[in-house]
Amino acid sequence: MEEKKNKNINNPIRRKEFLQMCGSVIAGGTVLAAGAKLATKTKVKESDVFWQIDPARCTQCGRCETDCVLPVSAVKCIHANRVCGYCDLCGGYYRSNVKELNTAAENMMCPTGAIERKFIEDPYFEYTINEDLCTGCGKCVKGCTSFGNGSLYLQIKQDICVNCNECQIAQVCVSDAISRVDYATAYKLKE
């Protein structure tokens, strides 16, 4: 301080340089300290980086379809064949109280026709989801969960999901069903 007072009081350039040096030291120190502090918070493996829906909590409100940042939601319906009853009158395939059980559009639960049905043997039918058509609206899931075994359920497809910092549909999910999961449980499958 003394030296500065004596010599450099009339020399603004030197004062500027001195202030700059102080700033550099503070900034450098901050970078080092923050880097070291934050490095302790990272985890390379087994960290919860994926978003996934817990089917036990999901209430099929339909927001997955509309709130995902992608043009077509990364949420798709998944079918657990081992849980399915292979019913002819499927609550996920037909709308409730339809007059005739045929594949006319007004009788179908799925608005995009993404559920494909194949006859296996009397009286069983196999249902398959065409993922390219599925928009994740959850209408079939609601039907299946209310009237059937709950073999249709919604999951976030990890190959489509862009893994946002904060999942947009987790924000609007009414039942808090979406949370971060690790690699091993990237899908919460029903068996």
Partner 1 sequence: MKRFFATILTATAAIGAKAQNRFPKPDFESGYEYPDLQYAVPNELMWDVLDVVLLLALLISAAWAITRRRKPMIWISLISVLYFGFFREGCVCSVGSIQNIVLAMVDETYHLPWVVLCFFLLPIIFAFLFGRVFCAGVCPMGALQELVNVKNGRISKPITMVLGLLPWLYLALTILYAATRSRFIVCQFDPFIGIFRLGGDIELLAFGILLLIISVFTGRPFCRFLCPYGALLSLFSSVAVKRIKITDKKCINCDLCYSSCPVDAIQPPYANTPQEERKEGVKRILGYALLMPLLIVAGAMLMRMSSDVMSRAHKEVRLYDLVTAYEAEENPEIIPLEVEAFYMRGRTMEELQASAEKAQADYRLYSTWIGAMMGLVLAIALIRFSVKRRRETYEIDQAACVACGQCFSYCPQNKVGDSKN
Q: Say how far apart CA 161 and CA 138 lie, in whole Å.
A: 17
Stretch that binds partner 1, among 3-11, 63-71, 109-117, 132-140 (CB under 8 A): 63-71
Selected from 11, 20, 103, 112, the binder of partner 1 by CB under 8 A is 20
* 36 binds partner 1, rule: CB under 8 A: no
Q: Which of 4, 2, 28 is nearest to 14 (CA)?
A: 4
Contacting range for partner 1; rule: CB under 8 A; set: 2-10, 50-58, 102-110, 133-141: 50-58
Longest dimension (CA), the chain: 103
Backbone angles phi, psi at 150, to 5 degrees: 75, 35
From residue 110 to residue 139, what is the string marking binding to partner 1 with x (rule CB under 8 A)? ----------xx--x-x-x-----------
Position 61 contacts partner 1 (CB under 8 A): yes
For 49, half-sphere exposure in the C-beta direction (CA atoms, 13 angstrom radius) is: 11
| Residue 35, Cβ density class (10 Å: 0-12 exposed, 13-18 middle, ≥19 buried) | exposed
| Other C-beta atoms lying within 10 Å of the C-beta of residue 129 | 18
CB of 4 to partner 1, least distance (A): 18
Query: Which listed range, 3-11, 93-101, 106-114, 182-190, lies at the site for partner 1 (CB under 8 A)?
Result: 182-190
Residue 66 interacting with partner 1 (CB under 8 A): no
Rounded (5°) CA angle 110-114-119: 100
Query: Considering only CA atoms, which of 174, 184, 189 is closest in space to residue 50?
Result: 184
Binding site for partner 1 (CB under 8 A): 12, 16, 20, 23-24, 26-28, 31, 34-35, 38-39, 41-44, 47-50, 56-57, 59, 61, 63, 69-71, 78-79, 81-83, 85-87, 120-121, 124, 126, 128, 145-150, 155, 157-159, 162-166, 168, 171, 174-176, 183, 186-187, 189
